[in-house]
């Protein structure tokens, strides 16, 4: 009879033999969330309506015409250029809604919006085979697609149009698409659709490019609910001259610019989302294209800080961020003045997001809630925090301060800890004694 063998769970085997388990060495759950991700709702005459479109910085540089209907340098791309000065990825949503797709006898624009009216179809006989047609699609004067076919049913839709298979092809020097509209819409309703569509996505901040107070109030309420009730950590950026928000999750920008009110939030969103947790935006140079109103007195700037407004001011020939703060004004024992500082909020948000991801990925429904399981979880928290120490985001901590116990229910885990967040140097008080 064969000897016993295989794996073991407990040392309870009956037959003599070798029982060997193969397990991986400890592989720390080093989850550290990506930064630079924003969600933004803005007006576009081509971007798909009613859906979130993911755009990376690389996409914007190389494929802006396909995605947004315009070249990177076009005036209509200002909002995107402002965001991508510091942001790396954008979940974009079109503030226009209910638009109509332009069309002609041969095709229909892929997206609704007035940009579709700049498309045209050019049809010519193929020089090598007169039984075939060369069907070209132009966006303004740019050739974006060309196909050689016998009939319309052979045409394949491209990045800009879908073809009508029943159309009769005929030589034309250029047939414009017409009837495209951006639509009539209610900004508040579109903004509601925007935040509803964001549910599957994770990001560091969001904004709607508008000065609509109803929209801004909606964003603030949504952000507070997501942060406090759902545990989804991000900050909203709004344009407003007053701070009626009083919440660490909302950043209020009062500066107007030469563009439509509210455009400035695109740059701030990119900067907030892209700022590393061991950095601050205080004194950061504005590197965008807007002509920002910074004609403020010293007294006005002090009032802005007291009111919790994220303000730009002039230093020499440069426009800089005055202080990296949020709209929190009413402090409590639970939320002291330190929570007015966005660097503090970023560190707290990073910890909350990362530890939740570690727990959900490696422990939820997988690891027993006993001393061994909780010790493993504690070890991963310590490893995560040590990364933050290395990044100089938090002070060195005593690992013994991290306590993990079973909660009131058998499956619940309770963590208690104390950390000290590091902020950048913001103020210098210096006394010099002169003999």
> Residue 341: pLDDT above 70?
yes
For 220-272, the pLDDT digits (tens) are: 999 999 999 999 999 999 999 999 999 999 999 999 998 777 899 999 999 99
Does residue 118 sit in the same domain as residue 204? no
Does residue 121 sit in the same domain as residue 242? no
Tell me the C-alpha distance between 322 and 312, whole Å. Answer: 6
pLDDT-derived band of residue 28, with 50, 70 and 90 as boundaries? low
Task: Examine residue 373 and state whether it is found in any structural domain, yes or no.
Answer: no
Angle of CA points 194, 118, 165, to nearest 5°: 90
Structure tokens at 174: 């250029």
Task: Examine residue 240 and state whether it is found in any structural domain, yes or no.
Answer: yes
What secondary structure letter does DSSP report for 208? E
Does residue 81 sit in the same domain as residue 191? yes
C-alpha 63, offset from chain centre = 19
340 or 13: which leads in pLDDT = 340
Does residue 158 sit in the same domain as residue 203? no
> Residue 433: pLDDT above 80?
no
pLDDT of residue 7: 56
pLDDT of residue 310: 97
Task: Examine residue 333 and state whether it is found in any structural domain, yes or no.
Answer: no
Does residue 125 sit in the same domain as residue 271? no
pLDDT of residue 11: 57
Residue 61, domain CATH: 3.30.1490.450
Task: Examine residue 317 and state whether it is found in any structural domain, yes or no.
Answer: yes
Contact status, residue 205 vs residue 272, Cβ threshold 8 Å: yes
Task: Examine residue 434 and state whether it is found in any structural domain, yes or no.
Answer: no
Helical residues (DSSP H) of 341-404, grouped into ranges: 342-358, 371-390
Domain coverage including residue 166: 107-176
Tell me the C-alpha distance between 122 and 104, whole Å. Answer: 12
Task: Examine residue 153 and state whether it is found in any structural domain, yes or no.
Answer: yes
Which of 176, 209, 230 is a domain's end point? 176
Contact status, residue 78 vs residue 259, Cβ threshold 8 Å: yes
Helix (H, G, I), strand (E, B) or coil at 314: strand
Does residue 247 sit in the same domain as residue 194? yes
pLDDT of residue 423: 81
Considering the chain, what percentage of its residues have pLDDT values greater than 70?
Answer: 92
Does residue 225 sit in the same domain as residue 313? yes
> Residue 166: pLDDT above 50?
yes
pLDDT mean over 399-403:
87
pLDDT mean over 15-40:
65
Which of 176, 193, 208 is a domain's end point? 176
pLDDT mean over 69-89:
96
For 194-214, the pLDDT digits (tens) are: 999 999 999 999 999 999 999
Tell me the C-alpha distance between 255 and 71, whole Å. Answer: 28
Which residue in 250, 255, 244 sits closest to 300, CA to CA? 255
Does residue 262 sit in the same domain as residue 125? no
Does residue 152 sit in the same domain as residue 218? no
pTM (predicted TM-score): 0.88
Q: Which of 2-11, 130-139, 182-191 has the highest mean pLDDT?
A: 130-139
Task: Examine residue 422 and state whether it is found in any structural domain, yes or no.
Answer: no
All residues at 6 or more sequence positions from 164 whose CB lies less than 8 Å from its CB, including other chains: 105, 106, 107, 108, 152
> Residue 18: pLDDT above 70?
no
Which of 273, 304, 321 is a domain's end point? 321
pLDDT of residue 419: 85
Q: Which of 11-15, 118-122, 362-366 has the highest mean pLDDT?
A: 118-122
- The count of structural domains within the chain is 2
Task: Examine residue 90 and state whether it is found in any structural domain, yes or no.
Answer: yes
Does residue 160 sit in the same domain as residue 259? no
């Amino acid at each position: 009879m064969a000897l016993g063998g295989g794996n073991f769970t407990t040392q309870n085997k009956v037959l003599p033999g070798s029982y060997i388990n193969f397990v991986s060495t400890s592989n720390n759950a080093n989850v550290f969330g990506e930064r630079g991700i924003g969600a933004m709702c803005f007006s576009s005459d081509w971007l798909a309506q009613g859906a979130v479109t993911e755009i990376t910085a690389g996409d914007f540089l190389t494929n802006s015409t396909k995605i947004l209907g315009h070249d990177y340098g076009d005036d209509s791309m200002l909002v995107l250029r402002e965001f991508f000065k510091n942001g790396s990825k954008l979940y974009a949503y079109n503030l226009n809604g209910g638009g109509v797709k332009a069309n002609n006898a041969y095709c229909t624009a892929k997206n609704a919006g007035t940009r579709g009216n700049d498309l045209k179809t050019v049809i010519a006989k193929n020089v090598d085979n007169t039984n075939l047609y060369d069907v070209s699609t132009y966006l303004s004067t740019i050739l974006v697609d060309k196909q050689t076919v016998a009939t319309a049913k052979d045409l394949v839709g491209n990045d800009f149009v879908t073809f009508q298979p029943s159309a009769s092809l005929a030589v034309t020097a250029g047939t414009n698409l017409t009837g495209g509209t951006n639509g009539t819409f209610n900004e508040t309703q579109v903004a509601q659709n925007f935040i509803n569509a964001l549910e599957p996505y994770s990001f560091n901040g969001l904004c709607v490019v508008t000065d609509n107070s109803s929209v801004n109030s909606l964003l603030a309420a949504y952000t507070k609910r997501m942060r406090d009730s759902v545990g989804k950590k991000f900050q909203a950026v709004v344009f407003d001259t007053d701070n009626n928000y009083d919440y660490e999750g909302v950043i209020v920008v009062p500066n107007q610019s030469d563009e439509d009110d509210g455009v400035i939030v695109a740059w701030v969103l990119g900067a907030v989302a892209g700022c590393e947790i061991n950095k601050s935006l205080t004194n950061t140079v504005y590197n965008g294209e807007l002509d920002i109103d910074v004609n403020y007195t010293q007294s006005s700037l002090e009032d802005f800080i007291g009111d919790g407004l994220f303000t730009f001011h002039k230093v020499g020939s440069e426009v800089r961020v005055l202080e990296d703060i949020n709209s929190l004004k009413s402090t409590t024992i639970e939320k002291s003045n330190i929570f007015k500082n966005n660097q503090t909020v970023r560190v707290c948000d990073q910890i909350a997001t990362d530890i939740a991801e570690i727990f959900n990925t490696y422990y939820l429904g997988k690891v027993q809630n006993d001393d061994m399981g909780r010790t493993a979880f504690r070890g991963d928290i310590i490893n995560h925090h040590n990364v933050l120490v290395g990044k100089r985001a938090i002070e060195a901590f005593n690992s013994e301060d991290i306590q993990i116990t079973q909660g009131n229910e058998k499956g619940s885990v309770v963590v208690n800890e104390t950390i000290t967040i590091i902020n950048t140097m913001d103020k210098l008080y210096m006394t010099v004694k002169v003999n």
